[in-house]
Structure 1
Amino acid sequence: MGRNTRKRRTPLATKAIAASAALALGGGGLIWANFYASAHESDNQSWGGNQTKAATAQVATLSCPDVGQKLTNVPAQARTEVAGELANLDRQITDAYQRLATTRDAQARDASFVQNSILQPLQDRRKVILDRIKLEITRVGGTAPASLDTLATCTAQNANQTTAGGQQQNGGQQQGGQQQNGGQQQGQNGQQGQNGQQGNIGGQAGNGPVAADFVDITKVQANVKAKPRAGRNASTGTFTTRCGVNANKNHNTDNVIVAPGVANGAHHLHDYVGNQKVNAFSSNQTFLQAATSCQNQNDLSSYYWPVVRVQDGTQDFDQNADGGGKEGNVGRILTPVQAQIKYVGSPRSKVAAMPQFLRIITGDAKTTTNGLANANAHWSCTGFENKVQLTTQYPICPQGSKVVRSFAFQSCWDGQNVDSANHRTHVAFADANGNCQNGFKAIPQLTMRLVYDIKPPTVQNGQVKNAYAVDGFPEQLHKAATDHDDFISVTKNGLANKIANCVNRGQNCS
């Protein structure tokens, strides 16, 4: 599929109403935590500072149905073309959000502006793409979902409607990728812009984060559940691979899993460790021929995640680039001070070796508008990881403690497919007891732990200073729950079998 080109746009950072924040670096110690479920969240988080209130019902962002998640049965012959069209839908939303963020004056003067000038044109453009997706699927003998036509309509969301925007109430717990107990999300924002206009969502580029996205971790109740008890047939070993922290700054805004052949398919910047030849146009053959940053040269796997930035009023190298400043991802990029990559076993069974070229995405980059069903963010601080794991807020760590973001990938595989149409259904999380369901088999669970030196943010008068946030799609408002991680398994000289054998024998290998 050919390279997609995009029209040049004015950076959000200069057109949206911006709020400056500052961030520097701090210190702390390290511990390791393993996770078996998809995420951990407090039942009743206590917020230790002032929260920003929504001053009006102004539109904060756009919410569009995630078409890709509905496409669970796309024939293999059509997947590349469909992926390209899904990337076109993402680009349309990005462009529409840009228009939303740069027309606040017009919106204040005309109550119908958002509907008539943004939402209706967006719906018309989405219909064209959805028709093309149906055509690509039926052309190769597949059947498109009957509900596809209903996914064209997008809605406007005010601050209080965005999910993953603040405190999680009523016991909203994430387990196995599913939201439990009806967790309610409350998002607050709506502070005045510096020139008196309404609609700034906060943050250096005007699209987050806001005060409610942060919580003092020392005021959060412990919420980490005990790991499942190991059974007689458990695989208790670990295999650690050391691949660095991306000190060589291997970045791009592509996503070869979701949008192969599409430049800037992620609309945000990724750190890459492991395989050094990963971009939108890479193939399995490319992976096998690439160098690796891993000490074990047989590990050619690709491990990649969105960068974290500090919003201190400065810009990084991509301030005028797609996926960077043009799309609201602004501030200084932080390199982790530590990146730990570890494969662990199953508490209930032995594990099978990962298949070559297995692709796994964990978490959801669009939880602000999708909701938390697939959220798998783990945010914590050194010294707190075994007590508190946050999904919907970034931690404010105490003096001497570092910010930690962790990932626990799906550890059950269908035994046949290295990918699926929506990049989810070929893998699954184990249940609360650690068992794989529906005929899936256990594989080594990939766990990752990234540690960052970040000066603690502060909240004063409902505004956050020294903010930090993960890169994301601009309309997702840089919420903590949008954190996600990507993985492509590529090994040689029998490494996949060695990892499985090490874990099954109960050894600790590297």
Structure 2
Amino acid sequence: MGRNTRKRRTPLATKAIAASAALALGGGGLIWANFYASAHESNSGQNQTKAAAGQVATISCPDVGQKLTNVPQRARRAVAKELANLDKQITEAYARLASTRQAQTRDANFVQNSIVGPLKEKRAASLDRIRLDIQRVGGRVNTSGLGSLAPCTTQPADQTNAGGGQNGNGGQQQGGDQQNGDGQQQGGGDQQQGGDAGQNIGGQAGNGPVAADFVDITKVAANVQGKPQNGGQASTGSFTTKCGVNANKNHNTDNVIVAPGVTNGAHHLHDYVGNQKVDAFATNDSLIQDQTSCQNQGDLSAYYWPVVRVQDGTQDFDQNADGGGKEGNVGKILTPVQAEIKYVGNPQSKVVAMPQFLRIITGDAKTTTNGLANANAHWSCTGFEDKVQLTEQYPICPQGSNVVRTFAFQSCWDGQNIDSANHRTHVAFADPASGACGNGFKAIPQLTMRLVYEITPPTLENGQVKNAYAVDGFPEQLHKPATDHDDFIAVFKNNLANKIANCINAGKQCQ
């Protein structure tokens, strides 16, 4: 259904990986594997990670939601609830993994018998309910294929798919048209997750980040590619909408796109700007009626992203809450100092107006277990954005420079659907070389976002990191930089969707 959204790494990106790998190995003689498994130390409230013996880092389960591309519309809400249940099962299993380190050292079969095996049984039951939900409305299911998604594996510390200290590649594999411009012991800043063994996977909650997740941006080779050249039908305008930085702290751990009707469906905290009433129970009818933080009152769109926290030993309001400290998302929540939201055009064609209630998710919150095929994270520093964009590492910025997260959303639409079963196949990225949409897809205004944060630079010493920062995420994803993602629901009044498209097609700069 629809177009394959995967992008190949560009030659430049591949070269950058190799260059950064050489830097990581040659600069300090460090071995990547030793960065991952780590033990927590507390030093006057400042957190460090240090290399420890290799151990199981996390649980890796097939991402069922990405496999389900043809769920009938009438079954989607029921299936979404089961998918959320699968996420909850993994969260609970990871918490058990993290809190039983000592038992694991005594019994080599503990993880399989007490964690992975029971998890498979729970997942099998959920998958069977998904099968019934689909068949009940007349849909077809490959029963054996669905059943094969029940087993999970464990990932050693040196085999997680993101944050391996092996990049500088900048994430041009997607969004190549990037625009510049549940263990209770997880809660406390000085607690060890699974303190019975004193071993964990870094960070003040025991599940990241680790030293290899950071890089001095001044030591990364330039990797940003030029944009496609404009053709004769290019839409060269832009429309900026000013919606604030979430200074009013509108947060929740829901995600109405992927888990409608499920409280804490995201298992991590989001910042919300634009529409002010977005939670798991929001509907199209409620979204069009609600208030907005945008200066243009016709923009009721929902713009939301995972919060960034600094792990300096302090805690925030949710240190004992689901989606917060109870699930490994700890530290002081940072509010961006800038949040720039802009719609831009297509280098090869005019754009059509976004359909009302279009939903787009860019990036992948589960790259640590899924791999990087759908990653679209872009991390950089002010003054470096046109030179270096990182996907698999957080930048350590020089003095006077701020951390920047940027997102360039999918800008091609299938012309029919405002969402899809896996929330991907109804939209696609333009070709990175030409900028054109393919396979019958239509160009729509490309949503771009730029978030700027004032962060005291973390320090790396002998494989240890102090005062790390990290994006919120599912606990088993280990707070890897590549898991960064962004969510959007288009909600417009006063003919604003058409005004945006017309402005862009006319080559104007509007707001």
Specify if TM > 0.5.
yes
Counterpart Cα distance in 2 of 1:427 and 1:168: 30
Seen in structure 2, the aligned counterparts of structure 1 residues 172 and 272 have a Cα distance that, compared at 3 Å, is closer
Q: Which string of whole-angstrom CA distances, capped at 9 and with x for unpartnered residues, describes residues 367-400 of structure 1?
A: 0000000000000000000000000000000000
CA contact (8 A) 1:174 1:375 kept: no
Aligned-residue offset at 1:168: 2.9
CA contact (8 A) 2:168 2:223 kept: no
Q: Out of 143, 159, 162, which is 1:161 matched to?
A: 159
1:65 matched to 2:66? The reply is no
1:392 matched to 2:392? The reply is yes
Report the equivalent of 2:345.
345
Report the equivalent of 2:497.
496
Q: Which string of whole-angstrom CA distances, capped at 9 and with x for unpartnered residues, describes residues 433-470 of structure 1?
A: 10101100000000000000001111112110010000
Identity of aligned residues (%): 75
Report the equivalent of 1:114.
111
Aligned-residue offset at 1:194: 11
Counterpart Cα distance in 2 of 1:347 and 1:212: 37
**DSSP 3-state at the match of 1:373:** coil
Q: Which string of whole-angstrom CA distances, capped at 9 and with x for unpartnered residues, describes residues 89-126 of structure 1?
A: 00000000000010011001101000000000000000
CA contact (8 A) 1:38 1:375 kept: no
Report the equivalent of 1:124.
121
* More moved, 45-54 vs 482-491: 45-54
Report the equivalent of 2:376.
376
Counterpart Cα distance in 1 of 2:157 and 2:280: 34
Name the count of aligned residue pairs.
462
CA contact (8 A) 1:177 1:375 kept: no
CA contact (8 A) 1:38 1:409 kept: no
Counterpart Cα distance in 1 of 2:86 and 2:477: 15
Report the equivalent of 1:452.
453
Gaps of 5+ in 2: 1-6, 38-51, 177-191
* AA aligned opposite 2:507: G
Seen in structure 2, the aligned counterparts of structure 1 residues 441 and 221 have a Cα distance that, compared at 3 Å, is same
Report the equivalent of 1:470.
471
Tell me the TM-score normalised to structure 2 length.
0.87
Report the equivalent of 1:241.
241
CA contact (8 A) 2:100 2:194 kept: no
Q: Which string of whole-angstrom CA distances, capped at 9 and with x for unpartnered residues, describes residues 331-374 of structure 1?
A: 00000000000000000000000000000000000000000000
Aligned-residue offset at 1:37: 10
Counterpart Cα distance in 1 of 2:430 and 2:88: 34
Aligned-residue offset at 1:170: 11
Root-mean-square deviation (Å): 2.1
Q: Which string of whole-angstrom CA distances, capped at 9 and with x for unpartnered residues, describes residues 2-60 of structure 1?
A: xxxxxxxxxxxxxxxxxxxxxxxxxxxxxxxxxx9999953322346666445433100
CA contact (8 A) 1:38 1:429 kept: no
Gaps of 5+ in 1: 1-35, 179-191
**DSSP 3-state at the match of 2:273:** strand
Q: Out of 134, 137, 142, which is 1:137 matched to?
A: 134
Q: Which string of whole-angstrom CA distances, capped at 9 and with x for unpartnered residues, describes residues 113-144 of structure 1?
A: 00000000000000000000000001100012
CA contact (8 A) 1:37 1:430 kept: no
Aligned-residue offset at 1:175: 2.5
* AA aligned opposite 1:380: S
1:277 matched to 2:274? The reply is no
Q: Which string of whole-angstrom CA distances, capped at 9 and with x for unpartnered residues, describes residues 463-486 of structure 1?
A: 100100000000000000000000
* AA aligned opposite 1:285: D
**DSSP 3-state at the match of 2:94:** helix
